[in-house]
Structure 1
Amino acid sequence: MAYNKIGIVGATGLLGQELTRALVDEGYDVVPFSRQTTTVAGLPTQVLKSLVGFDVVISTVGHRGMKEQIPLIQQAKRDGVKRFVPSEFGIDPRAPAAQADFFKPKREVFAALKAADFIDGWTAISSGFLDSVIPAFATFDSTSSTVKIHGNGDLQYPFTVRYDIGRILAYTFKHPKQYKDTWLAVANEWLSLKEIAQIIKVKSGKELLMENVGLDDSTPVLRLLEENGWSTFSREDQTIDLPAKLADLKDYIDV
């Protein structure tokens, strides 16, 4: 394979854990980084000091830590990392939503990434909403036999399984020239929250009520999108020729 040693920053997060697991399964030498020593996918985490000897660094930090990627990008460049994968998961910066003030840190990080000019460039994945957020968007309450969905629930959004992102990245690392400075827009399926509520209803085998609840600070991105009629990326930009068959998203919707 073209690359071997992969560092994952933010590895203890929900996305970082799944990317670590997928890349380990694909046979890569993965080092998960975190501020405190623990284990991820059976691997001990390390405190980030040097990136010398790493072929690729993947950042999976959340929105709050987005600008922390700028010094990370600069260190990776100094230490000779060949390729950087920024934490662009979610909103595609080419989409109208990305121009909102809320996403200004994403734009600043990407400018720093291009300025760094890594020898093998970067690969970025826009994933829409990850499977891990579904319970927050459509919450099953067994005590009241209710599915509570945020907003009106009518708009369809792309949802993506985290493990599949790791599988796709693993393939791109085997073909560095093909995926240099490349965007991939990945979706296992486009679903509205009402459609997700219906899936939960069928899986539960119960007659569930659906309750619409307001959009608030617990779902800031969903609120921003719905209030403006935006999506995380457009269907036209979705990558069709993905190098791996994606999982059935319905298998990741639990009750």
Structure 2
Amino acid sequence: MAPTKVLVVGATGETGGSIANGLLEAGNFEVYVLVRRASLRKPALLELQKRGVMVREGDLRAPEPELLNALSGIDVVVCSVGPADQPDQIPLARAAKKAGVKRFVPCGFITVAPPGGVMWLRDQKEIVYNNIKQLWLPFTIVDVGWWYQLSYPRLASGKIDYAMTMANDEIIGDGNARNALTDLRDIGRYIARIIVDDRTVNKMVFAYNEVMTQNEIYDLLEKISGEKIERKHISEETVQKRLVTSRQSSETYPYDPEKLVPRYIAEYQYSWGIRGDNNPEYASYLGYLSSKDLYPDFKPIAFEDYLKTVFAGTAKGIYTDRIKRFE
């Protein structure tokens, strides 16, 4: 049987890189990436090409004939684009319908949250999902919970700063909200199974590894490191104030995508920390299929094992091109 031809959009990013890697490791896919001309010499792309990934040059904002050319012969499209770029997937989905793509995986890959005003990012994704459904284009939506790589706090010694993007030193509310976690590296491994599974066509899938509270994460890192970590609790009232301020700031004219960053953070904290949305039970209520039910033989990376590599100094940091500041 011929291998499934998959086009990955955003393969040089964190999630997209995991997806490309998972497909390559699975060994039963022809992996293509959609790349703008300006990005053809990116080191991450050159590394993927060395491993057999094929490049389709194109831009999500290009005219439809160019998109159709990029989609020629493709079976599955998997998108991983930036928060502010979600609408750019809509023209690609229209072209995918015309090109006969068998499945379109839009850029989900966030925590579980309901549509309709809880998280701006979720609502932007929902606009894309609705456009796909209007096309009658086969789809699968995949959400993955909160990354291991963003879920643990800083140690006062600074020993794990090398792997951190932010101090991450706030406990939301009482710290007992149950939060589904996934190692970034496992996302691609899940995708390699999901996109060839007929059970997931036109479905939402929640792919996650473990469920822990913030208090449990602090306890675990204290055990591994031998260091006591200050527990800085942030009240629901404080989170609500941040919501109001960040939403007002992000809605001013002219549009500035940088002003959305505090809003993303506040809305994530509100959703998973205060509302408690990001857990398997709520995902089931919203209609997601569970990776635990679909793939009981899947062996995810254990969170404790990941934290041990962080403390040992052997973990790979994420968003390493961004400035890290710790107060």
TM-score, normalised on structure 2?
Answer: 0.66
Give the drift of 1:212: 3.6
* Paired residues of 1:164 and 1:246 also in contact (CA < 8 A): yes
Q: Which residue of 2 aligns with 1:20?
A: 20
Give the drift of 1:24: 0.3
- Tell me which amino acid in the other structure corresponds to 1:142: S
Find the partner of 2:127 among 108, 111, 125. 108
- Tell me which amino acid in the other structure corresponds to 2:33: P
User: Is structure 2 residue 262 aligned with structure 1 residue 242?
Assistant: no
The within-5 A match list for 1:10-159 is 10-27=10-27, 28-35=29-36, 36-37=39-40, 38=42, 39-40=44-45, 42-44=47-49, 46-48=56-58, 49=66, 50-92=70-112, 95=113, 97-100=114-117, 102=120, 103-118=122-137, 121-135=138-152, 138-143=153-158, 148-152=169-173, 153-159=175-181
Q: Distance in 2 between matches of 1:59 and 1:149?
A: 31
What root-mean-square deviation, in Å, do the aligned CA atoms of Structure 1 and Structure 2 show?
2.8
Q: Distance in 1 between matches of 2:99 and 2:199?
A: 24
User: Is structure 2 residue 256 aligned with structure 1 residue 202?
Assistant: no
Identity value in percent: 24
Give the drift of 1:208: 3.3
Q: Which residue of 2 aligns with 1:165?
A: 187
- The CA deviation string for residues 30-85 of structure 1, in whole angstroms up to 9 with x for no partner, is 12334312234831355325111111110112322112111121122222221111
* Paired residues of 2:172 and 2:274 also in contact (CA < 8 A): no
Q: Which residue of 1 aligns with 2:324?
A: none
Give the drift of 1:193: 1.7
The within-5 A match list for 1:195-234 is 195-212=216-233, 217=262, 219-225=265-271, 229-234=275-280
Q: 1:155 to 1:58 in 2, by over 3 A?
A: same
- Tell me which amino acid in the other structure corresponds to 1:113: I
- The CA deviation string for residues 70-110 of structure 1, in whole angstroms up to 9 with x for no partner, is 11211222222211111122244xx5x32216132122111
From the two aligned structures, give the one with the greater helix fraction: 2
Q: Distance in 1 between matches of 2:145 and 2:131?
A: 23
Q: 1:25 to 1:226 in 2, by over 3 A?
A: closer
Give the drift of 1:8: 0.9
Give the drift of 1:230: 3.6
* Paired residues of 1:126 and 1:233 also in contact (CA < 8 A): no
* Paired residues of 1:90 and 1:126 also in contact (CA < 8 A): yes
Q: Distance in 2 between matches of 1:91 and 1:227?
A: 11
Q: Distance in 1 between matches of 2:25 and 2:106?
A: 21
Give the drift of 1:158: 0.7
Q: Distance in 2 between matches of 1:70 and 1:10?
A: 15
From the two aligned structures, give the one with the greater strand fraction: 1
Q: Distance in 1 between matches of 2:131 and 2:210?
A: 32
For structure 2, list consecutive stretches of 5 or more residues without a partner in the other structure.
50-54, 59-65, 161-166, 243-261, 312-327
Q: In terms of Rg, which structure is larger? A: 2
For structure 1, list consecutive stretches of 5 or more residues without a partner in the other structure.
none
SS at match of 2:17: helix
TM-score, normalised on structure 1?
Answer: 0.83
- Tell me which amino acid in the other structure corresponds to 1:60: S
* Paired residues of 1:149 and 1:193 also in contact (CA < 8 A): no
* Paired residues of 2:150 and 2:168 also in contact (CA < 8 A): no
Give the drift of 1:201: 1.5
Size of the aligned set, in residue pairs, is 247
* Paired residues of 1:90 and 1:127 also in contact (CA < 8 A): yes
* Paired residues of 1:3 and 1:173 also in contact (CA < 8 A): no
